[in-house]
Structure 1
Amino acid sequence: MFFNYFKDYFLKKKLKNSLSNAEVIPSNNKVQTIGILVDERSFLQTLALKEALIEHNFLEKNISIVVFRDPFKVKELNEYPTFGWEHINWSFQIQEALLLDFVKHPFDVLLSYYDTNNGFLQWITSQSKASFKVGFFSVDKRLNHILINTQTMNYKEFVQEFVRVLQLFNKI
Structure 2
Amino acid sequence: MILKGFKEKSIKKKLNSLLHSPGAISENSIVKSIGVLFNGDEVNDFEVFKTLADDLNVRPNKLKIIAYTENKKENLFSWNVCFNPKDIGWHGKIKNIELEEFLGVEFDLLVSFYAKDVLELKLLTALSKAKFKAGIFQEDERLNDLIVNTGIKDFSAFKRELKKYLKVFNKL
CA distance in 1, matches of 2:129, 2:56: 24
- TM norm structure 1: 0.89
Q: Is the 8 A contact 2:70 2:84 kept in 1?
A: yes
Query: Judging changes above 3 Å, is the alpha-carbon distance between structure 1 residues 160 and 21 closer, same or farther for their aligned structure 2 residues?
Result: same
Cα 1:131/1:5, change in 2 over 3 Å: same
**How far does residue 54 in structure 1 lie from its aligned partner after superposition?**
1.3
Worse overlay, 35-44 or 5-14: 5-14
State the superposition RMSD in angstroms. 2.1
In the other structure, the counterpart of 1:115 is 115
Alpha carbons 2:10, 2:92 under 8 Å: kept: no
Distance of aligned partners of 1:3 and 1:135 in 2 relative to their CA distance in 1, 3 Å threshold = farther
Query: Mind listing any 5+ residue stretches in structure 2 that lack a counterpart?
Result: none
Q: Which is helix-richer, 1 or 2? A: 2
Deviation at 1:97, TM superposition (A): 0.6
Matched residue of 1:53: which SS? helix
Q: Give the superposition deviation at 1:46.
A: 1.3
| Structure 2 CA distance for aligned equivalents of residues 155 and 3 of structure 1 | 38
Write the distance in 1 (CA, Å) between the matches of 2:77 and 2:127: 27
Shift of 1:159: 0.9
Q: How does 1:51-62 map to 2 (within 5 A)?
A: 51-62=51-62
For the Cα contact (< 8 Å) 2:13–2:91, is it kept in 1?
no
- Which residue in the other structure is 2:47 paired with? 47
2:141 alignment partner AA: K
| Residues in 1 aligned to 2:67 and 2:167: alpha-carbon distance in whole angstroms | 27
Percent identity, aligned pairs only, is: 29
Aligned length: 172
TM-fit CA distance, 1:88: 1.1
Give distance in 1, aligned partners of 2:77 and 2:115. Answer: 25
Gap runs ≥5 in structure 1: none
Distance 1:159-1:4 versus aligned 2 partners, 3 A rule: farther
The residue number in structure 2 matching 1:89 is: 89
Aligned partner of 1:163 in structure 2 is: 163
User: Normalization by structure 2: what TM-score?
Assistant: 0.89
